[in-house]
Amino acid sequence: MREGTAPLIRREAYTPPAYRIPAVELVFDLDPARTVVLSRLSIERDAAAAAQPLRLVGEGLSLARVLANGQSVSFRVDKDESGREELVIEQPPEGRFVLEIKVGLAPEKNTELLGLYTSGGGFFTQCEAEGFRRISYFLDRPDVMSVYTVTLRADKARYPVLLANGNLQSQRELDGGRHEAVWHDPHPKPSYLFALVAADLVAREQRIRSRAGSEHLLQVWVRAGDLDKTEHAMRSLMASIVWDEARFGLPLDLERFMIVAVSDFNMGAMENKGLNIFNSKFVLASPATATDIDYDGIESVVAHEYFHNWTGNRVTCRDWFQLSLKEGLTVFRDQQFSMDMAGSPSARAVRRIEDVRALRQAQFPEDAGPMAHPVRPDAYQAIDNFYTATVYEKGAEVVRMMHTLVGEAGFRAGMDLYFQRHDGQAVTCDDFAQAIADANPGSVLAKQLDTFKRWYAQAGTPRLEARSTWEAEAGAWTLTLRQHGLPSPGQPEKQPWLLPLRLGLLDAAGQALPLQLDGEDPAGAPTERVLVLDDAEAHFRFVGLPAGPAAPVPSLLRGFSAPVLLDDGLDAAQRLLLLRHDPDAFKRWEAGQQLLQAELMARVRADGPAATPLSAGLVQALAAVLRDAGLSPAFRALALSLPSEGLLADALAAEGTPLDPQRVHAVRESARQQLAAELASDWAEAFEAHPDRGGYRPDAESMGRRALANLALAMLCLDATRRGDPVWPGRAYQRVKDGKHMSERFGALSALVHAQAELAGPALERFHALFRDEALVIDKWFALQAAAPEPLGAQAGSVFQRVRALCLHPDFTLKNPNRARSLLFNLTVHNPAAFHRADAAGYVLWGEKLAEIDAFNPKLAARFARAMDRWRILAEPYRSAALEALQRAAARSEVSDDLREILDRALAD
């Protein structure tokens, strides 16, 4: 570690707080340049704690006054051993006392968007994880829970709406054109769940009555012009409330529940008690401005934040190492909700495929790189760097495995016990797992809880190898499973994981076979079962199968029952059988992707031309899927999409082949062109067979039809552009101009851009002109250009140059996180071939923008830096150039703590 960097905070160093703050009164006199915050904290020393100084943490506050029980008290402001600013009172009064602290802040200068800040002329807050200390001195840690009463005062004309957590107690006019509102939140909460909003907003309102008969007011607050874009968010909120009550027996516990949209926000949304603050991207949608993906995003983020009300707010985290306690569980819950909303079994499978795709795309590489950490980390420098795919998505998989091991009813019983034991408390991941296990005493989970909990403790994706032997005459099939883990930072050795493996067996005709383990009763053997692997190696012998020369084909890890890298040892013929016949839709998709991946990887590895065509057998199998009207359009669209360049890069890294991003791109592009050309008539049929009927409806079925039609249009434009045929690009251009809604328009625009059609340029211009005043649509416009495929061959470099030029576009700004992400993150994360250039220009741009962003928003900079996490897997000349760029970034004199941690980890040996 370097001198002057934030020290490592360790999970094992946790000590309970010596003081409690049962009640807090806050008075805000809001002003963009100087806001005054008066806090009255009711404090008491924990009876069990020894007498010791009271240390309240703060950051960047200008302190005006400190009183204890109305009297002056001796205090000092200094830095603790880690450089954190603290207000220290060596000898606080005995017993319960009131500490009054007055501080000043300048919200308009808060460019970090953490604490109290201004956006679009209003005041907003973001306190998770450690933002409350930028509002007042406090015990800013999640295990200190208080009842808040909050008074807001502000100019009435500029800030007509004043909101805080809980229930509105009173409001009144003040002198000088100001007004006041008092809010009271009856539920004790940690400071990270505090929120306020003061702005010129309007609300869509809805009154609802719960199952138990209680009345509630729901509000979605937005700027006046955006009211027509709030219907979907409100519907999603209502559906979430109904679902949580029906599925988990968890009701809304407040008279009022509010969602507020803000355009400057570092992440997706925040679950502040009763006052969720959202990135406008996850609230605002109208058919004219939002795509299907946006509609889905809103549904799941609204649900996620609402579900936190129980999993996160009522039961919260003891310390930040336990973050997955609330995040993994809440992601699992929002995934289950989205599945239930999807309806049909096929639509549910599509959801699972999408979730697994996201896990592999973001979490697997994280788990194999310098930022690899356990679901419950052991140490951190900046907690915000650990709001990761591992804590969220892998955390959700860990909860899903518990659900698989104890079953639906057992899981519900476990959740009930969890709330019975811990409602109102700040607890640990151990407490959660214990509750699920205790409610299911006979289960494998309960019997081997310690082994299962290795999922919380060990980083890295387990490697699982499956091999089988067939005894033709006996009709017995033996499955051998072996697992191991690779070393990760700080964890050289791994112990075996306990994992559920959902399995089926198919005969040569694709019929499901009974699964009777040796020694079991043959009667009623199921055709699917869950095996539990709890050791480095295990054998399972199945008997009673029809004897004969053809070995059965295993369908392993159905539904992706454990987050592992599976080597199933199957050959192409076996995979083709699964692609055609597996009753598990996830596995059908998986088999197709494996076939594609195997062929693409062979071409990437070989020295020959990148354009070696995919095999005829595979192309025919994909064509059959595309033509199969018995499969849902959404499934067909997913099955016909090639594995991303990122996934191929990851697969190369896993086998130790150095990554040449240009070669991966060339191979994948040529496969895309081949599928476009060889299946042209099928694509045309798919496009014509899936027109949008009637008005826009954001349901899974209609979205699936549109996804397939848009993919078909993209393939048709790609092939037509190569052949110089103007018809399909012309039709796409027409759709950009007068498509019925944004999904259609943006689908057509993407088709042109991804085909590098001549009409792409004019279409982009036209699109910009149509939507210049819609910030969220302009974000898409930037994002699409940054993610456009790099042309193969002579004109290479054009996407990168376009992005460089777009950095100077009048609509571009780094200050708005959505805008910065749309252009820069899409280039660096989602467009490897445009970013990783032999001339290192991509890395130079990364370094420049990183320094610029870090100067005003370190949290955003730390995210942006992660684009370079996996520099070690690159081939030369990329690898050396990337290392140099990282070293340059780390050598700057001013590097924030957040960014420093990421750079140091990337550079560590």
Residue 129 partner contact from ligand B3K, Zn ion, none using kind-dependent CB cut-offs of 5 to 8 Å: ligand B3K
Cα–Cα dist 686/626, whole Å = 8
What minimum distance in Å lies between the beta carbon of 36 and ligand B3K?
A: 26
β-pair partners for 179: 154, 173
Element of type H or E holding 372:
none
Residue 267 partner contact from Zn ion, ligand B3K, none using kind-dependent CB cut-offs of 5 to 8 Å: ligand B3K
Residue 387 partner contact from Zn ion, ligand B3K, none using kind-dependent CB cut-offs of 5 to 8 Å: ligand B3K
Nearer to Zn ion, 355 or 897 (CB): 355
Q: The tokens of 384 are what?
A: 């915000």
Residue 81 DSSP SS3: coil
Residue 128 partner contact from Zn ion, ligand B3K, none using kind-dependent CB cut-offs of 5 to 8 Å: ligand B3K
Residue 299 partner contact from ligand B3K, Zn ion, none using kind-dependent CB cut-offs of 5 to 8 Å: none
What minimum distance in Å lies between the beta carbon of 299 and ligand B3K?
A: 14
Neighbouring CB atoms inside 10 A of 13's CB total 9
Q: Which of 791, 788, 745 is nearest to 766 (CA)?
A: 745
Q: Which of 630, 691, 696, 712 is nearest to 346 (CA)?
A: 630
Cα–Cα dist 190/316, whole Å = 8
Q: Which of 590, 519, 518, 581 is nearest to 553 (CA)?
A: 581
Cα–Cα dist 854/849, whole Å = 8
Q: Is the dihedral of CA 147, 153, 159, 161 positive or negative?
A: positive
CA atoms within 13 A on the CB side of 135: 30
What minimum distance in Å lies between the beta carbon of 392 and Zn ion?
A: 7
Nearer to ligand B3K, 259 or 686 (CB): 259
Q: Which of 873, 859, 868 is nearest to 888 (CA)?
A: 868
Nearer to ligand B3K, 128 or 678 (CB): 128
Nearer to Zn ion, 272 or 330 (CB): 330
β-pair partners for 185: 148
User: 78 with 57: CB under 8 angstroms?
Assistant: no
What minimum distance in Å lies between the beta carbon of 115 and ligand B3K?
A: 12
Residue 264 partner contact from Zn ion, ligand B3K, none using kind-dependent CB cut-offs of 5 to 8 Å: none
What minimum distance in Å lies between the beta carbon of 332 and ligand B3K?
A: 13
Residues 6+ apart with CB under 8 A from 97: 42, 43, 44, 68, 69
Residue 445 partner contact from ligand B3K, Zn ion, none using kind-dependent CB cut-offs of 5 to 8 Å: none
**Strands 54-58 and 35-45: what pairing?**
unpaired
User: 708 with 689: CB under 8 angstroms?
Assistant: no
Q: Which of 556, 546, 557, 465 is nearest to 508 (CA)?
A: 546
Q: Which of 235, 347, 335 is nearest to 285 (CA)?
A: 235
Site for Zn ion, residues 310 to 349, rule: CB under 5 A = 327, 330
Residue 650 partner contact from Zn ion, ligand B3K, none using kind-dependent CB cut-offs of 5 to 8 Å: none
What minimum distance in Å lies between the beta carbon of 635 and ligand B3K?
A: 29
What minimum distance in Å lies between the beta carbon of 310 and Zn ion?
A: 12
- Give, in degrees to the nearest 5, the angle at Cα 516 between 514 and 517: 150
Residue 744 partner contact from ligand B3K, Zn ion, none using kind-dependent CB cut-offs of 5 to 8 Å: none
- How many residues form the binding site for Zn ion (CB under 5 A)? 2
Residue 384 partner contact from Zn ion, ligand B3K, none using kind-dependent CB cut-offs of 5 to 8 Å: ligand B3K
What minimum distance in Å lies between the beta carbon of 382 and ligand B3K?
A: 10
User: 356 with 560: CB under 8 angstroms?
Assistant: yes
Q: The tokens of 732 are what?
A: 């796409």
Residue 897 partner contact from ligand B3K, Zn ion, none using kind-dependent CB cut-offs of 5 to 8 Å: none
Identify whether 305 is a catalytic site residue: yes
Nearer to Zn ion, 58 or 328 (CB): 328
Residue 582 DSSP SS3: coil
Q: The tokens of 738 are what?
A: 């007068």
Q: Which of 193, 64, 76, 39 is nearest to 130 (CA)?
A: 193
Nearer to Zn ion, 244 or 650 (CB): 244
What minimum distance in Å lies between the beta carbon of 327 and Zn ion?
A: 5
Phi/psi at 100 (5° precision):
-110, 125
What minimum distance in Å lies between the beta carbon of 247 and ligand B3K?
A: 19
Neighbouring CB atoms inside 10 A of 382's CB total 21
User: 183 with 164: CB under 8 angstroms?
Assistant: yes
Neighbouring CB atoms inside 10 A of 11's CB total 16
Residue 413 DSSP SS3: helix
What minimum distance in Å lies between the beta carbon of 308 and Zn ion?
A: 6
Nearer to Zn ion, 304 or 741 (CB): 304
Nearer to ligand B3K, 129 or 752 (CB): 129
What minimum distance in Å lies between the beta carbon of 391 and ligand B3K?
A: 9
What minimum distance in Å lies between the beta carbon of 134 and ligand B3K?
A: 13
Distances (CA, A) of 335 to 171, 296, 492, 864: 40, 11, 33, 26
Q: The tokens of 793 are what?
A: 């061959």
Nearer to ligand B3K, 180 or 327 (CB): 327
- Give, in degrees to the nearest 5, the angle at Cα 452 between 451 and 453: 90
Please tell me which residue in 128, 305, 678, 901 is annotated as part of the active site.
305
The DSSP code for 107 is G
Distances (CA, A) of 742 to 15, 183, 543, 698, 706: 52, 40, 55, 12, 11
- Rounded to the nearest 10°, the torsion over CA 517, 523, 529, 534 is -30
Distances (CA, A) of 152 to 31, 67, 121: 11, 21, 16
Nearer to ligand B3K, 309 or 443 (CB): 309
Nearer to ligand B3K, 193 or 444 (CB): 193
Nearer to ligand B3K, 185 or 384 (CB): 384
User: 199 with 220: CB under 8 angstroms?
Assistant: no
- Give, in degrees to the nearest 5, the angle at Cα 175 between 173 and 178: 60
The DSSP code for 393 is I
Cα–Cα dist 767/746, whole Å = 9
Nearer to ligand B3K, 327 or 774 (CB): 327
Residues that bind ligand B3K (CB under 6 A): 128-129, 267, 269-271, 304-305, 308, 327, 384, 387
| Residues within the interface to Zn ion (CB under 5 A) | 327, 330
Which residues are annotated as catalytic? 305
